[in-house]
Amino acid sequence: MNYQREISLLLKENKVIIPKNMPISRLPKINRPDKAIRAINFIQTLCTHTKGRWSGADFLLINWQFVLTWRIFGTCKSDGTRQYRIVYCEIPKKNGKSEYAAAIALICLVADDEAGGEVYSAAADKEQAGLVYQVAAQMVRNQPVLEERLKIVDSTKRIIDYKYNSFYKVLSAEAFTKHGINPSAIIFDELHAQPKRDLWDVMVEGTDYAREQQLVLGITTAGIYDKQSIGWELHEYADQVNRGIIKDPNFLPVMYCADKKKDRLDDPKVWKRLNPSIGHIFNLRKIKDDYNKVKNNPARLNNFYRFRLNIWVNQITRWIDMDQWDACKANIDKGTLLGRDCFGALDLSSTTDLSALAFVFPPIEPEEKWKVLINCYVPEETIVRRSAEDRVPYNLWQEAGYITATPGNVIDYSFIRRDVNKFAKIFNIQELAYDPWGAVKLAVELQEDDDIPMVEHRQGYKSMSPSSKEFEKLIIANEIEYDGNPVLRWCVDNLVVTMDAAENIKPAKDKARERIDAAVAVIMAVGRAIIHFDESSIYNKRGMRKL
């Protein structure tokens, strides 16, 4: 009897409900279909849905859930124990992962033949970890067979199985309290949100020595790229296992992720492929509506990438599309800018961090693009330490001339003043914008002693929103160019924005993963230039003004 015929008979004999539109030929080949069928039947006969219009109805697995259960429980070693110890499932939001995780937790609690089992829900915080518990507890309440056997203790978020002396419990990220546990199964919800790797290490590393088939199910949506996070580390590892670069027979990667280089992110076929619960939990129209709301708003587009296409992003509110910014790179002949009108801006930031001086040159010929020049400054004594701690090549940027290192451990503003005066001799500086916070002394020196026209440009929505939106428009239209300065590119890549109720936006330094100072200086300069572009009357000498 061939394998497919044998599986068909087993499924029929065990009265397994097969998802619609899923031929048996699509089921992966496994060596213990009896174990897979047992797990599937447990979910579909003893577990229920707990929310919305399906609340209380039998939990009939949809395609992706059925196949994943089939693989987890039906792929076994020669001794009959499970082969996969770690299952990493990365799937967009609202595809039913929390209810599925709760069903797996209940299998491991009462149907895993594990005496003294310890099943844990873990997440970045106790509230998040409690989401899977709440679903599992409601499944127990909805099913008399389970409710008779198990005791729910909501005060401690625990479900107890006295028959096997086992329990299911919620844990959060305070990893230092978790040493000494002996988990038989761990449900890690939203791994991308783990602030540190401590909880993962304490829960997973070496805790399987006393368990024959410990199961770790990490189930998550894509998160924010952070090369130090456990979520990103597992994403990268899963991707390499998936592509066959790393061989790990005990690790099962299941990834519904778009590829920004290969997939058309506005293609409904891509949306359907990445959201396997379409047609069951929600429909394609919902995703289309979401896309139409954000497609022309880069400040919100990253949420669509994360939650609907499962793409890891640099920041939740990442603003500028880097492909569009990279298209603005050009060879700028500075000699052609001599004597040209320009608008500058200072972003002095902290005295120990990156500061920037930017100049923007409006076009003077048809089809000419706006041009950007940038100078950046850091304290010399902090370069080596910052390069090592931040893993950002300040030292290499300094050697290449992209950063000016000022003596000492704080920025010497006299170097910035010197450069402003140097540029004033070769360019026609119309205005130099500055944020008065921390920059008044330098601004007064430049205005009163050096005759540089200074104008305040505060960092609130009123000042920054028009400047930011004009900057964005120039990039999208490919009407601005810069010389490829890697410090500026890094800052643009780090740009995030916040938005108020009136949809005004501004760069958010407190939310950015890394520095954005050089980009902020360019935005300020663009904002001042746009105001006066083609208004020749502004080229008269004037004093310090306020915006």
Cα Rg of the chain, angstroms:
29
pLDDT above 80: residue 474? yes
CATH code given to domain 324-539: 3.30.420.240
Reading the block at residue 375, the tokens are: 């100078």
pLDDT band at 469 (very low <50, low <70, confident <90, very high): very high
Reading the block at residue 332, the tokens are: 């700028």
Is there a contact between 496 and 303 (Cβ–Cβ < 8 Å)?
A: no
What superfamily does domain 3-255 belong to in CATH? P-loop containing nucleotide triphosphate hydrolases (3.40.50.300)
pLDDT of residue 84: 97
pLDDT above 50: residue 547? no
pLDDT band at 541 (very low <50, low <70, confident <90, very high): very low
Which contiguous run of DSSP H or E holds residue 253?
Answer: strand 251-255
Q: What does the pLDDT look like over 315-352, one tens digit per residue?
A: 555 688 888 999 999 999 989 999 999 999 999 876 66
Q: What does the pLDDT look like over 14-56, one tens digit per residue?
A: 999 999 888 888 899 999 999 999 999 999 999 999 988 888 9
Q: Is 24 helix (H, G, I), strand (E, B) or coil?
A: helix
The H-assigned helical ranges of 371-459 are: 383-390, 394-399, 413-426, 440-444
Reading the block at residue 227, the tokens are: 């090369």
Bin 94: left if φ > 0, else alpha if -120 < ψ < 50, else beta. Answer: left
CA distances from 335 to 331, 339, 400 (A): 12, 9, 20
pLDDT above 90: residue 303? no
Provide the strand spans (E) within 58-182. 86-90, 118-122, 150-153, 158-161, 166-171
Instruction: Spell out the domain ranges in the chain.
Output: 3-255, 324-539
CA dihedral of 297, 302, 308, 312, whole degrees rounded to 10? 160
CA distance 256 to 245: 18
Residue 15's CB is within 10 A of a number of other CB atoms, namely: 10
Q: What does the pLDDT look like over 155-189, one tens digit per residue?
A: 999 999 998 899 999 987 665 566 678 999 999 99
DSSP string, 21-87: T--GGGSPP-S-HHHHHHHHHHHHHH-B--SGGGTTSB-PPPHHHHHHHHHHHH-B-TTSSBS-SEE
Alpha-carbon torsion (193, 195, 201, 207), positive or negative: negative
Same fold, 3-255 and 324-539: no
Global confidence as pTM: 0.64
pLDDT of residue 539: 36
pLDDT above 60: residue 299? yes
